[in-house]
Amino acid sequence: MSAVIETQDLSKRYRRVTALSDCSVTVPESRICALIGPNGAGKTTLLRLLAGLARPTGGAVSVLGGAPRQDPAFLAEIGYLAQEIPLYRRLTAEDHIRAGAHLNPRWDGESARSRLRELNIALDRPVGTLSGGQRAQVALGLTLAKRPRVLLLDEPVAALDPLARRHFLGTLTAAVAEAGGELTVVLSSHLIADLERVCDHIILLTGSHVQLCGDIDALLAEHKVLVGPRKDTSSLERTHQVVHTVRTARQVTMLVRLNGSVLDPAYEASEVDLEELVLGYMGASATPAYAHLAAVGEDQ
Restricting to residues 229-288, which ones interact with another protein according to CB under 8 A?
A: none
Distance CA 97, CA 93 (A): 6
54 binds another protein (CB under 8 A): yes
Alpha-carbon Rg for the chain in angstroms: 21
Q: Mark the segment that binds another protein (CB under 8 A) among 50-58, 112-120, 217-225, 233-241.
A: 50-58
Reduced to 3 states, what is the DSSP secondary structure of residue 86? coil
Q: Mark the segment that binds another protein (CB under 8 A) among 92-100, 164-172, 212-220, 247-255.
A: 92-100
Backbone angles phi, psi at 249, to 5 degrees: -60, -40
Give the Cβ contact number of residue 37 at 10 Å.
Answer: 30
By beta-carbon proximity to another protein, the closer residue of 70 and 234 is 70
DSSP calls for 245-272: EEE-SSEEEEEEE-SS----TTSEEE--
Q: Mark the segment that binds another protein (CB under 8 A) among 85-93, 183-191, 208-216, 234-242.
A: 85-93
Contact at 8 Å (CB) between 119 and 137? yes
CB of 79 to another protein, least distance (A): 7
Kindly tell me which residue out of 2, 16, 72, 298 binds another protein, with binding defined by CB under 8 A. Answer: 72
Kindly tell me which residue out of 60, 65, 71, 193 binds another protein, with binding defined by CB under 8 A. Answer: 71
Q: Mark the segment that binds another protein (CB under 8 A) among 30-38, 76-84, 111-119, 263-271.
A: 76-84
16 binds another protein (CB under 8 A): no
Kindly tell me which residue out of 51, 116, 172, 185 binds another protein, with binding defined by CB under 8 A. Answer: 51
Give the Cβ contact number of residue 248 at 10 Å.
Answer: 8
Distance CA 300, CA 297 (A): 6
Contact at 8 Å (CB) between 220 and 272? yes
Sketch the per residue contact string, 139 through 158, with another protein: x for CB under 8 A, - otherwise: x--x---x------------
Q: Which residues contact 162 (CB under 8 A, 6 or more apart)?
A: none
5 binds another protein (CB under 8 A): no
- Total number of residues shown for the chain: 300
65 binds another protein (CB under 8 A): no
Which residues of the shown chain bind another protein in the complex (CB under 8 A)? 48, 51-55, 70-73, 75-76, 78-80, 82, 84, 86-91, 95, 98-100, 102-105, 139, 142, 146
